[in-house]
């Protein structure tokens, strides 16, 4: 029979934990968690992540955006947005940002800090072409974060986009997502190159399992370089 002390300590055993010897690279584990959350649809938007930026005047701002791709080999996360939006202006002024994924039902959290960089036109074009036609029209219709008089005024801007692009409404209905709608120049991707990644697993009594990986990021013009990952466990 186990001792009272053993019984107490057993309450802190984890049903899931990071390996005792931490992996050299955090991204395979991150991708495994992300893929599980997306595949099992554990919440309506399992690819949702909080993006935190610093405005040109130094004020903080956060919002939910959707992760669209993870380049595990390079440690880069991709998302897409309006380049005239508040977040894009913030990233142009202060490229360092933070991201957070939280899968509450899985008791898992991933925190990422890194360097933001605009995606290439080719990358943005490829993703834009794969979007539903409604989303492509919406990108033309919205001056994101700017005031507007009402909902009808926004719908009128959709009408304007159809006319501006010389689209045939009947062709849109007939072809659906196959209809060609070009990417607007004010819309595209952002790539976040991670320099700090924390993996978190919830535990009984708040005795969680945490570990952090860090590396140095150096940007020279359009080129980003990085060092090898350093890793350590953290107390909860």
The rounded Cα 31 to chain-centroid distance in angstroms is 13
The dihedral built from the CA positions of residue 39, 42, 44 and 50, taken in this order, carries a sign that is: negative
Say how far residue 108 (Cα) sits from the centre of its chain: 16
**Residues that are catalytic:** 206
Q: How does pLDDT run along the chain (236 residues), one tens digit per residue? A: 688 776 666 666 666 789 999 999 999 999 999 999 999 999 999 999 999 999 999 999 999 999 999 999 999 999 999 999 999 999 999 999 999 999 999 999 999 999 999 999 999 999 999 999 999 999 999 999 899 999 999 999 999 999 999 999 999 999 999 999 999 999 999 999 999 999 999 887 777 899 999 999 887 877 888 999 999 999 89
Of residues 32, 27, 29, the one with CA closest to residue 19: 29
Q: How far is CA 168 from the centre of its chain?
A: 34
On whether the CB atoms of residues 93 and 141 are closer than 8 A, the answer is: no
């Amino acid at each position: 029979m186990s001792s009272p002390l053993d019984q107490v300590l057993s309450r802190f055993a984890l049903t899931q934990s990071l390996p005792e010897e931490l992996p050299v690279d955090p991204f395979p584990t991150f991708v495994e968690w992300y893929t599980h959350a997306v595949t099992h649809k554990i919440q309506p938007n399992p690819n949702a992540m909080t993006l935190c930026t610093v405005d040109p005047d130094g004020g903080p701002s956060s919002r939910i955006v959707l992760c669209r791709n993870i380049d595990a080999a390079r440690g880069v996360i991709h998302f897409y947005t309006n380049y005239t939006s508040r977040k894009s202006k913030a990233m142009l002024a202060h490229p360092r940002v933070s991201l957070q994924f939280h899968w509450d039902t899985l008791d898992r959290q991933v925190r990422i800090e890194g360097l933001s960089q605009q995606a290439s036109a080719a990358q943005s074009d490829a993703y834009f072409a794969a979007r539903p036609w409604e989303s492509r029209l919406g990108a033309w219709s919205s001056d994101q974060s700017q005031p507007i008089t009402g909902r009808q005024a926004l719908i009128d801007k959709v009408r304007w986009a159809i006319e501006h692009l010389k689209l045939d409404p009947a062709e849109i209905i007939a072809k659906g997502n196959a209809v060609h709608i070009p990417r607007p120049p004010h819309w595209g991707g952002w790539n976040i190159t991670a320099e700090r990644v924390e993996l978190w697993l919830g535990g009984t009594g708040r005795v969680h399992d945490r570990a952090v990986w860090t590396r140095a990021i150096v940007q020279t013009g359009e080129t980003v370089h990085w060092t090898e990952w350093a890793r350590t466990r953290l107390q909860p």
